[in-house]
């Protein structure tokens, strides 16, 4: 599994397809941000321009996104109803999901539903469906403790407001990651938001095993070079693909 994972916040199906095409041959995993405009905003595809119908059509016909079969697709479900949204994405080829913790939305029912319909209760092989919990720098770690037995990884957001790329990195997340790693040394940790060559060393030193990179990557003049340099940084900390 890649240490550096490009994040795509698609404005349309065409935008998503174009970015997947640019990543072809460069990485093995991609994260797609799915923002419904309610749980987080602004809305991204497929919650804009008839995208929901487009994605459902993919799922109904067992199709895949162009180049989608080349990657392990991870969907960051920034939605009010992640269990419902998950079904369509999984049918379209995703195998890794991030569900965000929120004090107003207990995750017990969400995880039970996902496990019953798509996961362990269906006797799926280990790793076929991986579930992660997303938290912001302000989230109390106590909120996610009851759900960790259901999770395969935890995603720390490196920014305060989810659903938007290009925000400044929030250094407070580093202390939270270190605290979590002390309590749960075997739980894989990834960070999304504010990740760049400037912030990656501190994140890797804190024990992060996957770097989800969005605006820093897409704003680079040379995409392949930026990916290579980020992977080389990970190698310096003993973290390899």
Token pair 């369509």 is found at 88
Helix (H) or strand (E) holding 132: strand 130-135
Q: Is the dihedral of CA 41, 44, 46, 50 positive or negative?
A: positive
The pLDDT tens digits for 170-212 are: 999 999 999 999 999 999 999 999 999 999 999 999 999 999 9
Question: How far apart (Å, rounded) are the C-alpha atoms in residues 163 and 77?
Answer: 10
Position 125 pLDDT exceeds 50: no
This prediction has a pTM of 0.92
pLDDT, residue 163, reads: 83
């Amino acid at each position: 599994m890649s240490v550096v994972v490009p994040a795509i916040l698609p404005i349309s199906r065409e935008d998503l397809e174009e970015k997947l095409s640019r990543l072809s041959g460069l990485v093995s995993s991609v994260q797609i941000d799915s923002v419904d405009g309610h749980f987080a905003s602004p809305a991204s595809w497929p919650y804009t321009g008839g995208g929901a119908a487009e994605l459902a059509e993919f799922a109904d016909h067992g199709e895949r996104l162009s180049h989608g079969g080349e990657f392990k697709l991870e969907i960051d479900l920034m939605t009010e109803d992640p269990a419902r949204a998950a079904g369509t994405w999984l049918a379209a080829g995703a195998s890794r999901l991030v569900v965000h913790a929120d004090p107003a939305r207990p995750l017990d029912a969400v995880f039970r539903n996902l496990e019953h319909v798509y996961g362990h209760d269906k006797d799926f092989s280990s790793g076929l469906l991986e579930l992660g919990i997303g938290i912001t720098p302000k989230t109390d770690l106590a909120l996610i403790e009851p759900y960790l037995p259901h999770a395969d990884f935890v995603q720390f957001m490196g920014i305060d407001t989810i659903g938007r790329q290009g925000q400044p990195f929030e250094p407070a997340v580093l202390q939270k990651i270190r605290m979590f790693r002390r309590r749960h040394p075997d739980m894989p940790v990834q960070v999304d938001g504010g990740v760049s060559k400037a912030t990656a060393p501190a994140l890797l030193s804190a024990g992060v095993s996957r770097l989800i990179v969005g605006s820093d990557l897409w704003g680079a003049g040379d995409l392949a070079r930026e990916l290579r340099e980020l992977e080389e940084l990970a190698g310096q900390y003993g973290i390899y693909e």
